[in-house]
Structure 1
Amino acid sequence: MHVLILGGTTEARALAGLLHDRVRVTSSLAGRVASPRLPAGEVRIGGFGGPEGLAAWVREQAVDAVIDATHPFAERISFNAARAAATAHVPLLALRRPGWVPVDGDDWHPVASLEEAARALDGLGDRVFLTTGRMGLAAFAACPQWFLVRSVDAPDAPMPARTEILLDRGPFTLDGERELLARHRIDVVVTKDSGGAATAPKLTAAREAGVPVVVVRRPPVPEGVQTAASPEEAAAWVFGPGGAQTRSS
């Protein structure tokens, strides 16, 4: 059996580790990070050329099942995967870590997009901790606030005129996030609802400091695609009764 895992997320790497001793696993990484953490099994880097290219690759490589374990905000590849799986007639699963849930004391401001997040900053604060990654900074380019932008790799222009870049990779600690907010005098945080524990400490630190958080809601999974909330659930989908392995045999 050959399983294609799309994505370089923590969950994708964990899933590859669970599967590679039992089936052939190929993990496909987008190539946007200069030094990605590589999963177990085979790895390919780069795009497929849209849903048609992905469907052709699935057929050529005799892929039996596709698992979309991309970042919750990788909307384009998720929809390409849904179209490609339907075209190639292979089962598809979306592995999505649960989103964050506010607790007492949180001052969250949910928005639907980065552009809406930029507009929401007016009146919330003048020193912004922007943790949405290096893509999409153009949405904030016209903002007058000062920004601390944290990302794994250096972002490209356009970006806000008053920007300090912090190159770092999670997981992050609560003590570290507390110190960062205090040292940079942050008075508003902007984040995507990525979910997971690796970057969640910033939310606790913001709550403790009374700092508002602008939270960009995640896009929906393509209609009709089955989902799993953990690598273990995804592995059970592959090997369980009626799972992908059964359907491919």
Structure 2
Amino acid sequence: MHVLLLGGTTEARSLAGTLLRPGTPGLRVTSSLAGRVASPRGLPGEVRVGGFGGAEGMARWLREHRVDALIDATHPFAETISFHAARAAAATHTPLLAVRRPGWVPVEGDDWRPAGSLAEAAALLPSLGRRVFVTTGRTGLAAFASLDELWFLVRTVDPPEGPCPRRMELLLERGPFDLARERELLRRHRVDVVVTKDSGGSATAPKLTAAREAGVPVVVVRRPPVPEGVPVVPGPEGAVDWLAGLRNGGAEQGS
């Protein structure tokens, strides 16, 4: 059984390792990485890097490599590849599953301001603060580029692409981040507002706790929806069960 695993996320790495551990014969796993990170962490099994050329290119790859199951374990905000996967799966009649870690949930004391996009987040900032900590990734910073009256601390894994804010300090760091580090970061840079995407998970969640403790508002960009009709599980365990159902003759494919 050939499984194409779209990812590079913590969940994708965990799932690849689980599927290829000793005692699970008969599985071939190919992990596909977009190539956006310069030095991706190692993955077990076969690895391909780069785009497919849209939904049609992915469908062609599925056919040529005789893929039996497609698992979308990409970042919750990797909207384009998720929709390409849905179209390619439909075109080739390949079973498709999405793995999506649960989103963050505010707790007492949080001051969260929801936004539907980076542009909406940028529009909220002038009324919330003057020193902004942005953790939305290396793309999309153009949304903040016109806010010359604000100062930005931007944290990404790799250098950003496209226009950036004029008044900006860049931190090139990879999570996970601990709470003590996040507290010190907010204090040292006198951050008075945080901008993040609702990526979920524990690796970058300490900044939310640090912001709550400091009374700092957080602008949270809502994640895009999973393509309609695609079953979703919250983690690798659900994906393992889904694949077991396929291997056992097409049991129910999740919900």
Q: TM-score, normalised by structure 1?
A: 0.97
Q: CA deviation at 1:38?
A: 2.1
**Which stretches of structure 1, 4 residues or more, deviate above 3 A after TM superposition?**
none
Q: Give, in whole Å, the separation in 1 of the partners of 2:248 and 2:57.
A: 24
1:15 — aligned with what?
15
Letter in 1 for 2:244: F
- Closer, same or farther: CA 204–108 of 1 in aligned 2, 3 Å: same
1:247 — aligned with what?
250
1:92 — aligned with what?
96
1:154 — aligned with what?
159
3-state SS of paired residue (2:97):
strand
Q: Give, in whole Å, the separation in 1 of the partners of 2:248 and 2:194.
A: 44
Letter in 2 for 1:24: R
3-state SS of paired residue (1:122):
helix
Q: CA deviation at 1:39?
A: 1.5
User: Aligned pair 1:40/2:44, yes or no?
Assistant: yes
1:59 — aligned with what?
63
Match of 2:87 among 83, 86, 89: 83
3-state SS of paired residue (1:121):
helix
- Closer, same or farther: CA 112–205 of 1 in aligned 2, 3 Å: same
Q: Give, in whole Å, the separation in 2 of the partners of 1:66 and 1:244.
A: 13
Q: Give, in whole Å, the separation in 1 of the partners of 2:162 and 2:59.
A: 34
Q: CA deviation at 1:122?
A: 1.6
3-state SS of paired residue (2:249):
helix
Q: CA deviation at 1:87?
A: 0.4
Aligned residues: 246
Match of 2:73 among 69, 84, 94: 69
- Closer, same or farther: CA 247–83 of 1 in aligned 2, 3 Å: same
- Closer, same or farther: CA 244–74 of 1 in aligned 2, 3 Å: farther
Letter in 1 for 2:72: D
Q: CA deviation at 1:244?
A: 5.5
Q: Give, in whole Å, the separation in 1 of the partners of 2:175 and 2:18.
A: 22
Q: CA deviation at 1:247?
A: 3.4
User: Aligned pair 1:163/2:168, yes or no?
Assistant: yes
Letter in 2 for 1:137: L
User: Aligned pair 1:209/2:214, yes or no?
Assistant: yes
Q: TM-score, normalised by structure 2?
A: 0.95
Identity of aligned residues (%): 71
1:113 — aligned with what?
117
Q: How much is the aligned-residue C-alpha RMSD, in angstroms? A: 1.1
The answer as to whether partners of 1:110 and 1:216 remain within 8 angstroms in 2 is yes
Q: Give, in whole Å, the separation in 1 of the partners of 2:249 and 2:49.
A: 29
Q: Give, in whole Å, the separation in 1 of the partners of 2:69 and 2:108.
A: 41
3-state SS of paired residue (1:28):
strand
Q: Give, in whole Å, the separation in 1 of the partners of 2:96 and 2:229.
A: 10
- Closer, same or farther: CA 117–244 of 1 in aligned 2, 3 Å: farther
- Closer, same or farther: CA 245–168 of 1 in aligned 2, 3 Å: farther
Measured against aligned partners, the alpha-carbon deviations of 1:140-192 in whole angstroms (never above 9, x if no partner) come to 11012100000000113301000100000000000000000001000000000
User: Aligned pair 1:226/2:231, yes or no?
Assistant: yes
Measured against aligned partners, the alpha-carbon deviations of 1:166-219 in whole angstroms (never above 9, x if no partner) come to 000000000000000001000000000000000000000000000000000000
- Closer, same or farther: CA 106–61 of 1 in aligned 2, 3 Å: same
